[in-house]
Amino acid sequence: MTNKTLVQISKDLAAGEYSSREITQDIIADIKARDSIYNSFISLSEDLALTQADAADARLTAGTADILTGVPFAHKDLFCTQGQVTTAASKMLANFVPPYESTVGQRLLSAGAVCVGKTNMDEFAMGSSNESSFFGAVKNPWDLNAVPGGSSGGSAAAVAAGLVPAATGTDTGGSIRQPASFCNLTGIKPTYGRVSRFGIIAYASSLDQAGPMCQTAEDAAIMLNAMAGFDELDSTSVQQETPDFTADLNLPLQGLKIGLPKEFFGSGLNPQVAECIMNALKQIEGLGAQIIDISLPNLELSIPAYYVIAPSEASSNLSRFDGVRYGYRCDQPEDLMDLYCRTRAEGFGTEVKRRIMVGTYALSEGYYDAYYLKAQRIRRLIKDDFTRALSQVDVIMGPVAPTPAFDLGSNSKDPVAMYLEDIYTLSANMAGIPAMSTPAGFVNGRPVGLQIMGNYFAEAKLLNIAHQYQQVTDWHLQIPTSKGMPVSNEEKGA
- Hey, which residues are catalytic here? 76, 151, 175
Are 258 and 397 within 8 A, CB to CB? yes
Residues 6+ apart with CB under 8 A from 312: 358, 359, 362, 363, 372, 375
Handedness of CA 406, 412, 413, 415 (dihedral sign): positive
Are 321 and 124 within 8 A, CB to CB? no
For the chain, the three-class secondary structure string (H helix, E strand, C coil) is CCCCCHHHHHHHHHHCCCCHHHHHHHHHHHHHHHHHHHCCEEEECHHHHHHHHHHHHHHHHHCCCCCCCCCEEEEECCECECCECCCCCCHHHCCCCCCCCCHHHHHHHHCCCEEEEEECCCHHHCCCCCCCCCCCCCCECCECCECCCCCCHHHHHHHHCCCCCEEEEEECCCCCHHHHHHCCCEEEECCCCCECCCCECCCCCCCCEEEEEECCHHHHHHHHHHHECCCCCCCCCCCCCCCCCCCCCCCCCCCCEEEEEHHHHCCCCCHHHHHHHHHHHHHHHCCCCEEEEECCCCHHHHHHHHHHHHHHHHHHHHHHCCCCCCCCCCCCCCCHHHHHHHHHHHHCCHHHHHHHHHHHHHHCCCCHHHHHHHHHHHHHHHHHHHHHHCCCCCEEEEECCCCCCCECCCCCCCHHHHHHCCCCCHHHHHHCCCEEEEEEEEECCEEEEEEEEECCCCHHHHHHHHHHHHHCCCHHHEEECCCCCEEEHHHHCC
- Rounded Cα distance between 313 and 323, Å, is 20
